[in-house]
């Protein structure tokens, strides 16, 4: 088989170094895209230790994650503890619902103003921010999935955030300043 060199009229106008840079940048973009899609796909679909986000459980209890209980007044909630960046990023996204006495408890390393949004949510939530003294400092009630990409956050620092089914805050007559009991 014979190979013939093809002369390109445009190739002669573009310096060789610029062609190399364009090819290199293109290769980096392709590798970046493939790396991100593989990582994302692996993160969401190959986690054999927990339920897939596409298969929302009816109950949070029993998942292979850290569970605890949070008590506020007369109410006790079974929660999954989200203490890593990865767990906090996913949160309750992709689930179809929560049982009335269940939620997710976000634990942060240090007090700060932590914003939350409803990306990937399929149901409304009450979001409750709690300071390092285990007191409610702010609550956002009945946050709907349609509010995404809006961000909800308190005016002061929190160390913990509790997400529960919409209506929990008012049903249990909770208010800012209420003490929250938990151990993690």
pTM: 0.67
Q: What is the pLDDT of residues 17-45, one digit of tens each?
A: 666 666 666 656 565 655 543 333 333 33
Measure the CA–CA gap between 133 and 113, rounded to whole angstroms.
Answer: 15
Q: What pLDDT is stored for residue 100 in this prediction?
A: 87
In the chain the beta strands, taken as DSSP E runs, fall at 67-72, 75-82, 102-112, 125-130, 136-143, 158-165, 180-182
Measure the CA–CA gap between 12 and 26, rounded to whole angstroms.
Answer: 20
Q: What is the pLDDT of residues 108-147, one digit of tens each?
A: 999 999 999 999 999 999 999 999 999 999 999 999 999 9
Q: Which residues contact 110 (CB under 8 A, 6 or more apart)?
A: 159
């Amino acid at each position: 088989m014979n190979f013939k060199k093809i002369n390109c009229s445009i190739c002669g106008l573009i310096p060789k170094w610029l062609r190399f840079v364009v090819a290199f940048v293109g290769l980096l973009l392709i590798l970046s895209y493939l790396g991100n899609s593989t990582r994302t796909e692996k993160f969401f679909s190959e986690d054999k230790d927990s339920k897939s986000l596409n298969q929302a459980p009816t109950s949070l209890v029993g998942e292979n994650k850290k569970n605890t209980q949070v008590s506020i007044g007369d109410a006790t909630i079974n929660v999954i503890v989200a203490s890593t960046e990865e767990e906090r990023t996913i949160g309750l996204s992709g689930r179809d619902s929560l049982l009335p006495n269940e939620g997710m408890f976000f634990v942060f390393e240090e007090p700060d103003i932590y914003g939350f949004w409803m990306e990937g949510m399929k149901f409304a939530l009450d979001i409750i921010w709690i300071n390092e003294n285990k007191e409610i400092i702010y609550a956002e009630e009945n946050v709907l999935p349609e509010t995404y990409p809006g961000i909800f956050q308190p005016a002061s620092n929190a160390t913990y955030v509790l997400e529960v089914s919409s209506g929990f805050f008012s049903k249990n007559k909770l208010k800012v300043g209420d003490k929250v009991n938990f151990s993690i």
